[in-house]
Amino acid sequence: MSLPDLFPPFAPGEPDDDDGRSRRRIPFRQIVPNLVTILAICAGMTGVRLAFEGRYELAVGMILGAAVLDGIDGRIARFLKGQSRFGAEMDSLADIVNFGLAPGLILYSYILADAGAFGWICALLYTSGCALRLARFNTMLDDPNRPKWHGAFFVGVPAPAGAGLALLPMYVGFLGPDLGVPEFTAGVSAIYLVFVGLLMSSRIPTWSGKGAGLRIPRTYAIPVILALVLYIATLISFFWATLTVTALVYFCSIPLAWREFRKREARERAFSSRRGTGASPAGAGAEDEA
């Protein structure tokens, strides 16, 4: 049996396939982003192992590292012009492992086990919410009628951010405060985890750094750079406290994103209404660019 008979082609079903075998050689640049995605999966699974071994801080670090890798694999693919349908599917599978399965297991090992079966059920609900969010995200990518300005928003909390929010009880725990009775704390954490899962699977709009197209005025460039340096410095010096504040700030940003989404939606409806009556919508082009 030859090697092509043992393994399927990288992207089966393409027009140049012949009986399941591709005649075309693929460039290595298409493989590099998938290697990054595989590394992210390895980081997520290693986080689960570290949690089972009681090394919780390293376990959380692995999930955060997987989020960083998830953020750069798509950019690497675009930079190398190595996008592929195979890579998109691989990325979704990695997200369910790294940001759905792994955080649920790590939190269960850290605190939810004290809540017994209730904690486990909440972990299952969180993972299910993550899976539903990712499935909906994949189907929305194929929607040709989706307005271009929707690219500035996610529908629901994205999976990496959801995992970061889900680990908030661990950030607080690492800071060292006495949280009281373990069973009560585990129950509250379990309910909180379900809440994060609902945010992920909901239709609440949240900011998308990919599609926002944010432009900074020249006069604000230096203050923004200094603010980022300050954030990185505090993250290095007060890691868990900074992550806790970051999670709280993200929660506060959700109502702002929702309000902005509704405003743009109302403007689009007004524009469509004026266009239907033949009126000339002043500033319509500028709004489309925004």
The pair of three-digit structure tokens given for residue 203, joined into one six-digit string: 């239709």
pLDDT at 121: 97
pLDDT at 176: 82
Is pLDDT of 64 > 90?
Answer: yes
- Average the pLDDT over 132-149 and give the result: 73
Judged on CB neighbours under 10 Å (0-12, 13-18, 19+), 214 is exposed
Q: How much of the chain exceeds pLDDT 70, in percent?
A: 79
pLDDT at 198: 95
Question: Is 261 among the domain residues?
Answer: no
Question: Is 70 among the domain residues?
Answer: yes
Question: Is 165 among the domain residues?
Answer: yes
- Average the pLDDT over 120-137 and give the result: 92
Check which CATH number belongs to the domain holding 47 and give it.
Answer: 1.20.120.1760
Question: Is 46 among the domain residues?
Answer: yes
Is pLDDT of 94 > 80?
Answer: yes
Q: Tell me the per-residue pLDDT of 1-47, one tens digit each, with 9 for 90 and over.
A: 555 566 666 665 555 444 545 556 677 777 888 899 999 999 999 99
For the whole model, what pTM was predicted?
0.82
The pair of three-digit structure tokens given for residue 152, joined into one six-digit string: 């500035």
In the chain, the number of structural domains is 1
Per the DSSP assignment, residues forming a β-bridge with 206 are 154
Per the DSSP assignment, residues forming a β-bridge with 17 are 22
Question: Is 65 among the domain residues?
Answer: yes
Q: Please state, as a whole number, how many other Cβ atoms lie within 10 Å of the Cβ of residue 284.
A: 15
Question: Is 37 among the domain residues?
Answer: yes
The pair of three-digit structure tokens given for residue 269, joined into one six-digit string: 């409806």
Question: Is 172 among the domain residues?
Answer: yes
| Cα–Cα distance, 217 to 212 (Å, whole number) | 15
Write out the residue range of the structural domain in which residue 36 sits: 23-216
Under 8 Å CB-to-CB from 83, ≥6 apart: which residues? 30, 33, 77
pLDDT at 7: 63
Range with the lowest mean pLDDT among 56-65, 78-87, 98-107? 78-87
Judged on CB neighbours under 10 Å (0-12, 13-18, 19+), 162 is buried
| Cα–Cα distance, 43 to 27 (Å, whole number) | 26
Judged on CB neighbours under 10 Å (0-12, 13-18, 19+), 81 is exposed
Closest CA to 284 of 214, 260, 269: 269
Q: What is the mean pLDDT of the chain?
A: 82
Question: Is 275 among the domain residues?
Answer: no
Q: Do 120 and 111 meet the contact criterion of CB atoms below 8 Å apart? A: no
| Cα–Cα distance, 137 to 191 (Å, whole number) | 25
pLDDT at 67: 94
| Cα–Cα distance, 51 to 57 (Å, whole number) | 8
Closest CA to 265 of 133, 152, 140: 152
